[in-house]
Structure 1
Amino acid sequence: MILTALTALAEPTRLAAMRALYDDDEHCVCALMARLGATQSRMSRHMQVLKQAGLVVDRRDAQWVRYRINPDLAAPLRRLLDAALVEEVMA
């Protein structure tokens, strides 16, 4: 599980998406696309990788999909995510 999360976070767009979600609020794909300068298909693919790694959960809202950090994230994964995002901010 940790290796899958590390692999998912190693890609800069996915790490940036997690940084955007770090406010513990829901964000639609359209907002993530605008913030990260990604196409819809590219952003959806990145979010699917993060979802498969167990880092995010999604909710369909009409034609949009909204994402947030998985509230049931295991403690070791939460610590890993916290460390990755704090390190990113400090760099």
Structure 2
Amino acid sequence: MIKSVKVLAALAEPTRLAAMAILYDGGEHCVCELMEKLGATQSRMSRHMKILKGAGLVIDRRDAQWVRYRWNPGLSPELTAVIDAVLAAERKSERTVA
């Protein structure tokens, strides 16, 4: 069972939240792509993704020297609803600021 507190703590960091927004499309994304889009170093991005994986939010697959991440399709509907709400609030916040 995935702990809600662990999930919310993982989403509380801006880079991790932004990574989840990218992964929200349901596709698989190389860590190199996430690094480029989020302006993060490889080591920093790997640490963030380790936390998201530890919270059960993402799954990964090794592809040669890169790791590819995607949204965890096994998330409960309730947890998915929480993540949807957090991402929607973040998008709304960004539109308000812009």
* Structure 2 counterpart of 1:42: 44
Task: Report the TM-score when normalising by structure 2.
Answer: 0.91
TM superposition shift of 1:10: 0.2
Task: Report the TM-score when normalising by structure 1.
Answer: 0.98
Q: Does 1:52 pair with 2:54?
A: yes
Letter in 2 for 1:48: K
- Segments of structure 2 that go 5 or more residues without pairing to the other structure are 94-98
Count of paired positions? 91
| Helix, strand or coil at the partner of 1:23 | coil
Looking at structure 1, the residues matched to 79 and 55 of structure 2 have their Cα atoms a distance apart, in angstroms, of 10
| Helix, strand or coil at the partner of 1:24 | coil
2:24 to 13, 22, 25: 22
RMSD across aligned positions (CA): 0.5
Looking at structure 1, the residues matched to 14 and 74 of structure 2 have their Cα atoms a distance apart, in angstroms, of 24
* Structure 1 counterpart of 2:80: 78
Structure exhibiting the larger radius of gyration computed from Cα positions: 2
- Segments of structure 1 that go 5 or more residues without pairing to the other structure are none
Structure 1: which 4+ aligned runs deviate by more than 2 Å? Answer: none
| Helix, strand or coil at the partner of 1:17 | helix
* Structure 2 counterpart of 1:33: 35
